Amino acid sequence: MFEGLFQPMHLIVILVIVLIIFGPGKLPDMGSAIGKAIRGFKQSMNEPEKKPEEEAKKLEDKDKK
């Protein structure tokens, strides 16, 4: 049923629609924002879980400065 879902022609049509909607000037900004979001997500998945008390203490220290 999903065989050949994203063929090259489909991807070209999607790219053209995105270019029309957002314009070529905003595409690099969108790409970098998506990359940063993915990196942040991966980092948060790899970090050990922190205790809520530690997080609260960090926020309090940050507010005092």
Give CA separation, 22 vs 37, 51, 53, in Å: 19, 41, 43
Q: What's the pLDDT at 4? A: 66
Question: ∠ CA 45-35-29 to the nearest 5 degrees?
Answer: 150
**Cβ(27)–Cβ(18) below 8 Å:** yes
Q: What's the pLDDT at 3? A: 67
Per-residue pLDDT tens listing for the chain (65 residues): 456 677 888 889 988 998 899 888 888 888 899 999 999 888 888 776 656 667 777 777 767 65
Q: What's the pLDDT at 36? A: 93
As separate numbers, helices (DSSP H) first and strands (DSSP E) second, the chain gives 3, 0
Q: What's the pLDDT at 43? A: 83
